[in-house]
Structure 1
């Protein structure tokens, strides 16, 4: 199931909405300021990065742990799941 979500890019940095053409394998999706690569499994967000292999988000002010199984990708959609404590309603 695909439910729109937001990922908080570090503590106190606000929320980053991942939108774009999400693919699987070794492909990637551009999201304006960064990209998702589901093979290497990381997202670069300008001020930091989200790396599901290392399982953390780094933004220069802190980091948020997560598990790769909590990130679902929807073709031509959004990253749709984040840990509950880092989730905000779709607006």
Structure 2
């Protein structure tokens, strides 16, 4: 085949493209690529941690509000029971 053969030129271009592709794949799967993937995973985990910390803070704040409401309701129930007891003792 001559150097002007279009099939030979296409074969060379394909071979060059495959070589470049192989080099890119090796970079992506090599130590540097794994490190980059680890950094991305660390960023995702950090974002998840921040989101979860925010949700936890909100849940703790809600828990504190509910505990306060629970104490208030308990105090009101005690007062109501004492009032009912006083009425019953006064009627008896």
With normalisation by structure 1, the TM-score equals: 0.17
The structure with the largest strand share of the pair is 1
From the two aligned structures, give the one with the greater helix fraction: 2
Using CA pairs below 8 Å that are at least 6 residues apart, which structure has the higher relative contact order?
1
Bigger radius of gyration among the two: 2
